[in-house]
Amino acid sequence: MLRTLRALPTMLRVGLAEAVAYRAEFLVWLLSTNMPLVMLALWSAVARDAPVGRFGQKDFVAYFLAALVVRLMTGAWVIWELNHEIREGTLAFRLLRPIHPLVAYACENVAAMPLRLALSLPVAAVLLFTMGGAHITHDPLLLALFPITVVGAWLITFLAMSIVGALAFYIDSAGSVFEIWMGLFGVFSGYLVPLELFPRWVTLLARALPFRYMLAFPVEMVIGMQSRALALAELSVQWLFVGVLGACALGVWRLGLRRFAAFGG
């Protein structure tokens, strides 16, 4: 643990240098996260004449701009690196280092955050507070909890990607499994449609799945759609998912690594 902590600053600097070096690719990734803006235009047009449920035009503006901010802050790409390195055998080089590969992947993903924020978050924040600022919660506790919910959402994203990426130890099409995961994310996370607009059974199902806690939960909390009691209850559920996915990621990794070592031998 102490060795890992000493290595963290160096790994973060290396990760940031890589993000800067591949800034064109990084910009393409940013442009691929514009779906909340598309849905903002669509639902604002739908709500032009009358509200949809509790959502009027300004409510949709606040919701989808907050969704854009959360999505930008919680993105990860470990699955593509892990899948590629397992299939190519280059994971062996990471295994020779004294740092757990999942920690190294996490540092690489987190290190790109300053560049991501510098390029995109100011624009999203300005739009959010000028067009939907009246809908931001004024509860200081919920505002203080918002960064914690974003960290939890990022951890769920990263750990789920790690689990799916580790399936490359066993199958050739781990990327296809991730496409299914992303399809479920689009429906049950509130990324495309606020979950409140779905039938009640879909909303209840979403509360039992991790996707809601990757996006809808922090978004609904920061725009004032949740009370303190509900937010605290859902925060505990979110971090329960973090713990469960963390244990699953370590378990799948250890089992897969035995297969990788046997194959390499």
Q: Are 83 and 174 in contact (CB under 8 A)?
A: yes
Least confident of 19-33, 90-104, 204-218: 19-33
> Is the pLDDT at 164 greater than 70, yes or no?
yes
- What whole-number distance in Å separates Cα of residue 198 and Cα of residue 188? 10
How many CA atoms within 13 Å lie on the side-chain side of 64? 22
Structure confidence at residue 240 (pLDDT): 97
Give the pLDDT band of residue 131 (cuts 50, 70, 90). Answer: low
Structure confidence at residue 29 (pLDDT): 64
| Three-class secondary structure assignment of 114-165 | HHHHHHCHHHHHHHHHHHCHHHCCCCHHHHHHHHHHHHHHHHHHHHHHHHHH
Helix axes 57-74, 121-131, angle to 10 degrees: 160
- What whole-number distance in Å separates Cα of residue 55 and Cα of residue 187? 18
| 218 compared with 87, residue with greater pLDDT | 218
Where exactly are the structural domains of the chain?
2-264
Structure confidence at residue 262 (pLDDT): 45
Most confident of 108-117, 120-129, 201-210: 201-210
Could you tell me the sign of the dihedral formed by the alpha carbons of 146, 112, 78, 39, in that order?
positive
The pTM of the full predicted model, rounded to 2 decimals, is: 0.87
> pLDDT digits over 34-59, tens only?
788 888 888 888 888 888 888 888 88
How many CA atoms within 13 Å lie on the side-chain side of 179? 4
Mean pLDDT of all residues in the chain? 83
Q: Tell me the two tokens of residue 183.
A: 């399809």
- Of residues 235, 256, 250, 75, the one with CA closest to residue 155: 75
